[in-house]
């Protein structure tokens, strides 16, 4: 296994241990990657070459970013949940058990430490860093509630993992096929209307529009909230500046090295 290490980030050749087709274009990929697994915290991500390490072609050239869904440091395993959307992710379902892929990670800052109850708000394939957080916090006595939305029930995955972590799971679908008929942020709003939430922290990850609505709602209610942002990126370490996102103070910050976690009141969602 080739390993290079710099500033806590590893370039590691990982081995595919398992790949599970979850349906509707979603896959669970389990990799053996001991060095990255040992250094990872919930909310961090990695860059993955979607080609096998012995593939001589250079297309696609760039590694793709994926949040870490879970990790087993003792066993040296990492889990990713990905959705097939384009050139790179279309190649990933072909990866077979025993094949090797090149990773760089862990990258970015993890979720901040908080006290008190937590409310998780996930849109579609934004769910992975929230499952990791729920599993990390599981058993420490705080109440955890998840609002998990997608276009349809077939796009909602690994609900049993949230339940096993002690999370109260509330679903929302655009087509009404499960849970609240509408967005997960609207479901959250209705829930907040019915009950007072004191001292809780709110964590969101999902599409830009969903996060904008989440930021607006939590700000209106004076709630402490964090988002994990996504942006197309190349280097993953803040050098190429490809993933710059605007902040409310007029500056730009890098999703890869300043984020992907930000407080909702620092990001400009316009």
Ligand X SMILES: Cc1cc2nc3c(=O)[nH]c(=O)nc-3n(C[C@H](O)[C@H](O)[C@H](O)COP(=O)(O)OP(=O)(O)OC[C@H]3O[C@@H](n4cnc5c(N)ncnc54)[C@H](O)[C@@H]3O)c2cc1C
**If binding is defined by CB under 6 A, does position 20 make contact with ligand X?**
no
In contact, 111 and 261? CB cutoff 8 Å: yes
Please pick, from the candidates 65, 70, 76, 106, the single residue that binds ligand X as defined by CB under 6 A: 65
Could you tell me which residues come within 8 angstroms of residue 132 by beta carbon, excluding any fewer than 6 positions away? Answer: 42, 43, 67, 68, 69, 70, 71
**If binding is defined by CB under 6 A, does position 231 make contact with ligand X?**
yes
In contact, 16 and 113? CB cutoff 8 Å: no
**If binding is defined by CB under 6 A, does position 86 make contact with ligand X?**
yes
**If binding is defined by CB under 6 A, does position 83 make contact with ligand X?**
yes
**If binding is defined by CB under 6 A, does position 227 make contact with ligand X?**
no
In contact, 266 and 236? CB cutoff 8 Å: no
- Helices first, then strands: H and E counts in the chain: 6, 17
**If binding is defined by CB under 6 A, does position 9 make contact with ligand X?**
no
Please pick, from the candidates 29, 71, 81, 215, the single residue that binds ligand X as defined by CB under 6 A: 81
Please pick, from the candidates 19, 67, 173, 218, the single residue that binds ligand X as defined by CB under 6 A: 67
**If binding is defined by CB under 6 A, does position 89 make contact with ligand X?**
yes
Comparing CB distances to ligand X, the nearer of 45 and 147 is 45
**If binding is defined by CB under 6 A, does position 49 make contact with ligand X?**
no
**If binding is defined by CB under 6 A, does position 135 make contact with ligand X?**
no
Q: Which residue from 260, 269, 247, 257 is spatially nearest to 185, judged by alpha carbons?
A: 269
List strands edge to edge, sheet with 144-150.
180-181, 167-173, 144-150, 118-123, 201-205, 224-228, 261-263
**If binding is defined by CB under 6 A, does position 82 make contact with ligand X?**
yes
**If binding is defined by CB under 6 A, does position 110 make contact with ligand X?**
no
Give pairs for 171-175: CB < 8 Å, separation 24+.
172/147, 172/148, 173/149, 174/149, 174/150, 175/151
Please pick, from the candidates 87, 220, 251, 263, the single residue that binds ligand X as defined by CB under 6 A: 87
Comparing CB distances to ligand X, the nearer of 190 and 241 is 241
Interface with ligand X (CB under 6 A)? 45, 60, 64-67, 81-83, 85-89, 125, 128, 230-233, 255, 260
């Amino acid at each position: 296994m080739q390993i290079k290490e710099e500033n806590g980030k590893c370039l590691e050749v990982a081995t595919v241990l398992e790949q599970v087709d979850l349906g509707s274009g979603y896959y669970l990929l389990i990799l053996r990657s001991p060095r990255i697994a040992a250094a990872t915290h919930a909310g961090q991500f990695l860059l993955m070459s979607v080609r096998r390490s012995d593939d001589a072609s250079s297309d696609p050239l760039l590694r793709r970013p994926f949040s870490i869904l879970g990790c087993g440091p003792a066993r040296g395993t990492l889990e990713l949940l990905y959705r097939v959307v384009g050139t790179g992710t279309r190649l990933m379902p072909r990866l077979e058990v025993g094949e090797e892929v090149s990773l760089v990670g862990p990258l970015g800052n993890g979720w901040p430490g908080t006290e008190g109850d937590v409310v998780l708000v996930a849109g579609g394939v934004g769910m992975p860093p929230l499952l990791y957080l729920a599993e990390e916090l599981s058993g420490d006595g705080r109440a955890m509630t998840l609002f998990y939305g997608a276009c349809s029930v077939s796009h909602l995955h690994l609900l049993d993992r949230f339940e096993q972590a002690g999370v109260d799971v509330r679903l929302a679908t655009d087509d009404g096929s499960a849970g609240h008929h509408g967005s997960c942020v609207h479901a959250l709003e209705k829930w907040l209307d019915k009950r007072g939430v004191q001292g809780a922290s709110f964590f969101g990850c999902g599409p830009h529009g969903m996060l904008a609505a989440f930021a607006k709602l939590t700000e209106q209610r004076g709630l402490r909230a964090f988002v994990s942002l996504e942006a197309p990126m190349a280097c993953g370490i803040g050098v190429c500046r490809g993933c710059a996102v605007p902040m409310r103070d007029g500056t730009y910050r890098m999703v890869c090295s300043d984020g992907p976690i930000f407080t909702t009141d620092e990001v400009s969602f316009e």
